[in-house]
Chains A and B, each alone.
Chain A
Amino acid sequence: QVKLQQSGAELVKPGASVKLSCKTSGYTFSTSYMSWFKQIPGQSIEWIGMIYAGDGGTGYNQKFKGKATLTVDTSSSTAYMDLSSLTTEDSAVYFCAMDGSDWFAYWGQGTLVTVSS
């Protein structure tokens, strides 16, 4: 079955960067799309961007350009998201989800990022 396993919670200092991972199994990663999302607890969900594992092509929400960088490692069927120049406003839960068509049927469990000095 399809599984998306995300990396553990992160506590990072303002101004630092963090790299989150999303390890997949149960489907053909190399021809799939992966999207990433941000959710501040108690609030709605924001789409950050997507990446096609086949060629690494990306598309970003304008709001997150320069903040998030999406990459993949097809040898390990893992997607990554780098978040840079972190501020307290970046504190949130970040999800990866397999972008099958226009909807998201498979999600990771989420990674909590806390930005604090």
Chain B
Amino acid sequence: DTVLTQSPALAVSPGERVSISCRASEGVNSYMHWYQQKPGQQPKLLIYKASNLASGVPARFSGSGSGTDFTLTIDPVEADDTATYFCQQSWNDPTFGGGTKLELK
């Protein structure tokens, strides 16, 4: 299985820029996607194929990377962005990262 590694938690102040990283155990080309999940809700697609903004997602969210290293950036962060963010690869059978919990100071 392709293992995706994310930092477990981040804390930022509203209005700041935050970057959430995801490292794959093997190259996944650009087949990396990002989701936001709030407690008690289903995941919501934010970014697909590394850098494409999903429909209806604010332009404050952006994605970059290829191969093994990927980044989700939120700029500027808003209070409503408090959530856990997961990366997911589809180069092989789908796997997800452990999630990064974003908290606001």
Q: Which A residues are closer than 8 A to B by beta carbons?
A: 35, 43-47, 59, 61, 95, 97, 101-105, 107-110
Contacts and interface: CB of A to CB of B under 8 A. Distances in A.
B96 A45 contact: yes
Contacts of A59: 93
Interface of B: 31, 33, 35, 41-45, 48-49, 54-55, 86, 88, 90, 93-99
Given A44-B97, A44-B98, A45-B96, A104 B86 contact: no
A103 B88 contact: yes
A103 B97 CA distance: 14
A87 B62 CA distance: 40
Contacts of A97: 42-43
A45 B45 contact: no
B98 A95 contact: no
